[in-house]
């Protein structure tokens, strides 16, 4: 599911697309003769943290509810409740060569959102992963996770957000909007059909374009990138791209880095 967030989709679209993708997976598993119990035991979702603190908390909690709703609909068991293993990673989309060390703060906030939101496993990426992946950044990424556990003790409470009104309301709104979007896309076709037809890619491009407009107008702030950016005579080269994902990723700082390099 992290691929959707990295492509520029917001939490509502991420929920809808995850549900759409799961229905395809369930149908394929049934065709292959995989029993429900085996499938449920191995169900894992990977989420991307870094959009905003509360939105990320809400995404984790509403994602579990969304996937369980799909499972109940698919199995016909209205009382079914399946534990969904959530792996939450800090984002790549907000990493920038213009303000590399700010990536430390973004990774820390992502780790806090993931832990407080109830993720089963958390990974904070090195702040220079996309261009250097240095030993220094790897050490900071590891130690940030240690600090969140050992000094902040974020693992001491099983569900710190349970009953928090603002979070419960946010999750309810995300779940409702995500389910409506899921039903809309379901009427148009399966996940694989929409992907092959370019429908999902077109939607991702529109979402990325909207984000780019917000960044350009500074209605969405990425400190050190589109506001308070220091001048750079040169920037480190990006690493070779990994194998292409099903949807192209959108990195928020890319356009502003290009401007800086031309200057």
Tens digit of pLDDT for each residue in 65-76? 999 999 888 888
> DSSP states of 162-207 as a string?
TT-HHHHHHHHHHHHHHHHHHHHHHHH--HHHHHHTTHHHHHHHHH
22: part of which helix (H) or strand (E)? Answer: helix 11-31
* pLDDT exceeds cutoff 80 at 80: no
Distance CA 65, CA 62 (A): 5
Residue written as token pair 């579990």: 64
Report yes or no on whether pTM surpasses 0.85. yes
Average pLDDT over residues 30-44: 84
Distance CA 186, CA 17 (A): 10
Question: pLDDT at position 243, please?
Answer: 57
Question: pLDDT at position 263, please?
Answer: 46
- The stretches of 76-164 forming alpha helices (DSSP H) are 102-117, 135-150
Distance CA 97, CA 111 (A): 21
Q: Which of 18, 11, 14 is nearest to 43 (CA)?
A: 18
Distance CA 249, CA 170 (A): 26
* pLDDT exceeds cutoff 50 at 2: yes
Q: How far is CA 235 from CA 231, 249, 256, in A?
A: 10, 21, 12
* pLDDT exceeds cutoff 70 at 111: yes
């Amino acid at each position: 599911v992290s691929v959707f967030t990295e492509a520029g989709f917001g939490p509502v679209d991420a929920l809808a697309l995850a549900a759409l993708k799961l229905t395809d997976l369930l149908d394929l598993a049934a065709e292959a003769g995989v029993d429900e119990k085996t499938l449920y035991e191995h169900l894992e979702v990977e989420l991307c943290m870094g959009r905003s603190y509360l939105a990320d908390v809400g995404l984790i909690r509403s994602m579990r509810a969304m996937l369980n709703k799909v499972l109940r609909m698919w199995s016909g068991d209205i009382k079914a409740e399946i534990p969904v293993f959530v792996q939450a990673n800090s984002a790549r989309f907000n990493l920038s060569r213009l303000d590399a060390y700010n990536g430390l703060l973004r990774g820390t906030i992502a780790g806090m959102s993931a832990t407080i939101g109830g993720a089963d496993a958390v990974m904070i990426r090195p702040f220079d992963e996309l261009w250097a992946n240095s030993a220094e950044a790897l050490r900071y990424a590891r130690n940030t996770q240690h600090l969140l556990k050992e000094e902040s003790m974020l693992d001491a409470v099983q569900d710190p957000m349970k009953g928090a009104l603002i979070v419960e309301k946010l999750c309810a709104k995300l779940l409702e909007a995500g389910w409506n979007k899921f039903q809309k896309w379901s009427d148009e076709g399966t996940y694989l059909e929409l992907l092959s037809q370019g429908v999902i890619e077109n939607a991702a491009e529109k979402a990325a374009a909207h984000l780019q407009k917000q960044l350009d107008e500074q209605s969405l702030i990425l400190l050190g990138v589109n506001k308070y950016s220091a001048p750079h005579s040169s920037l480190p080269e990006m690493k070779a791209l990994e194998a292409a994902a099903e949807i192209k990723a959108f990195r928020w700082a890319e356009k502003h880095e290009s401007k800086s390099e031309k200057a």
